[in-house]
Every structure is written in structure tokens, then in C-alpha cells.
Chain A
Amino acid sequence: MTRETDIDSLFAQLRSTEPCIQDQGFSTRVLAELEQKAGLAFFKDALITMLFTLIGCLLSYAFFPVAELVELLPNSIHISPMSLLTLGGAVALACSAAYWTLDTDRI
């Protein structure tokens, strides 16, 4: 240790001789850790989504009168040219909206 005990000049000496610490793979380790965490986060998100979807399905099955709803479905459907045209228009509109949303990165 130097004999210099004046704190300010000691720190001035340290500032002027501060070593430049070589990277030596430090940045690579940080980025690798980040990628690993991102992968884990994606896996965790997917797992949570699937789990809650499953719970939702089970709850729906338990609480909704599925059989009664199925019975309410018509046996035959009559589609007129006008309703087909309306349906086509609605699908085209939905597709355009989805494309615009993805293209402008709104999600």
C-alpha cells in the first residue's frame, strides 16, 4: 500500500490507473444467459397458456349445458346467395384487418 493517505489524491491516482478489464467472453456469457432466459420464458408462457386453456375447457364442459346447446343447432341450413355474399364480405374484411394489424405491428 502506498504511503499516501490523502484520500482524494489516492482516488485520483486510482482513477488515472484504472485497469481496462478485458471482455474475455463476458459479453458472450451475458447474451447466452439472456437467450436461455428468453427460451425459458417462451416455454413457461406456452405452458401457462395450455394449462389455462385446459382448465377453461374442463370448466366449460362441467358448467355449460353442452347437450342442450347441441340440440338447439338446426338440422339443416339454408344459405341464400345474399347471405353467402355477406359472409364472404365479412371474411374478406376480417382478413384485411388481420393483415393490417400484423403489417403495422399493432399487436
Chain B
Amino acid sequence: MSPPDQALIDAVVKEDSHRAFAELVKRYQSPLRYSLRQLTGWNEALADDLAQETFIKAHSALSSFQGKAKFSSWLYRIAYNLMLSHFRVARNRELTGGLTGREEQSLWIDNGQEVAASDESLQLHRDLAQAMNHLSDNQRMALHLSLHRECTQQEISDIMSIPLGTVKTLITRGKARLRERLEDWKSGDES
């Protein structure tokens, strides 16, 4: 039987156990990398870089993890802050003209060729990630945590450090915007 998260966290904090941390990474890498792909318009390279940075930050801050929230929620909080910070820098570079067109494309959307070459069963996940890319960062995160990860609104509020009322608004508006986007897509398919 695999040890609980808290036992692994204690081993990392008290004994600096790399094996315990490796176990935590293995346990959470798939859902975290998937979530980050959904939040970055299925940009695999960017999502993996952010996930790697998330685990490194988590390792250095693990002693401050108090176990009040789920470990996964704590990881999502770190990932969300890193993602916001990444997009802020990317936007600033874009505004100051420091980003070439190709760099910009690689930051925001996935390469069409990669999508075409990939497994067809992933197509729905990729399509939704790209549709979600038209929402704001906050709406995307709130919607993903609520509808995909099935977090409660209180958990989302804690992860994103925003008031409960704002979470509700983000989810409602995000859903409406995503619905519009999908309707456009649908009518595009039909025509």
C-alpha cells in the first residue's frame, strides 16, 4: 500500500528524502500536467515547464505546507500563480515588442501539425483547451477547477486567493463565454 501524502511530505521536510519527493511528483505529475495543458491552450512544452517549476517551488516551500488543504489544492495554487506570472511577462514582452511572431505562437497556442499528428482520442481535450484559451486567465482557472477538478467554490477561492463571490461570477461568466464559443464552433461546423 502506498504511503499517504502527509507521510511523504514529513519525510521530505524532516529527512530531505528525495525518494519521498519523487513519489509525490509521480503521484501528481499527470493531473497537474493535464490541468496546465488545459490552461495553456494545450501547449505541452509550456505546460510541462510550468509543472516542473511548480514542483521545484513546492519542494522549497514544503515546510510551510500545513496540511489544512489538500496537497493537490496547494500544488494548484502554486501552479496558478506561476501561470499568471508567466502570462504577465509574456504580455509585457508582447506589448514592448520583445516577442517574435513565432515565439508568441508557441506561448499561446499549440502547433496545428502536432494536433493533427496526435492520438484522435485526445482531440476533444485539445479542442476544449483551445476554446478555453479565449477566456481570461481567471475564468479559465475557475472553470477548470470547478467543472473538471470538481473543487468546491470555497476551495477555488482558497486556491486563487479571491473572494467567494468573485469565484461565482467567474464561473458564471466563463461558462457563458465558453458556451458562446462552442456555439460559434458548432455553427461553423454546420455551415
Known: A20-B30, A30-B56. 18 other contacts (CB 8 A): A1-B127, A1-B185, A5-B183, A7-B147, A7-B175, A7-B179, A7-B182, A8-B147, A11-B147, A14-B125, A17-B121, A17-B124, A19-B122, A26-B48, A27-B26, A27-B29, A33-B52, A34-B56
Known: A1-B185, A14-B125. A23 touches B29 (CB 8 A): yes
| Cα distance A33–B22 in the bound complex, in angstroms | 12
Residues of B within 8 A of A (CB): 18, 21-22, 25-26, 29-31, 33-34, 48, 51-52, 55-56, 59, 121-122, 124-125, 127-128, 131, 147-148, 150, 175, 178-179, 182-183, 185-186, 189
Min C-beta distance of A103 to chain B, whole Å? 16
Lowest 5 CB-CB distances: which A-B pairs, in order? Answer: A11-B147, A21-B30, A5-B182, A27-B25, A1-B127
Query: Interface of chain B, helix or strand or loop or mixed?
Result: helix
| Cα distance A29–B29 in the bound complex, in angstroms | 12
CB-based contact B22/A31 at 8 Å: yes
CB-based contact A19/B34 at 8 Å: yes
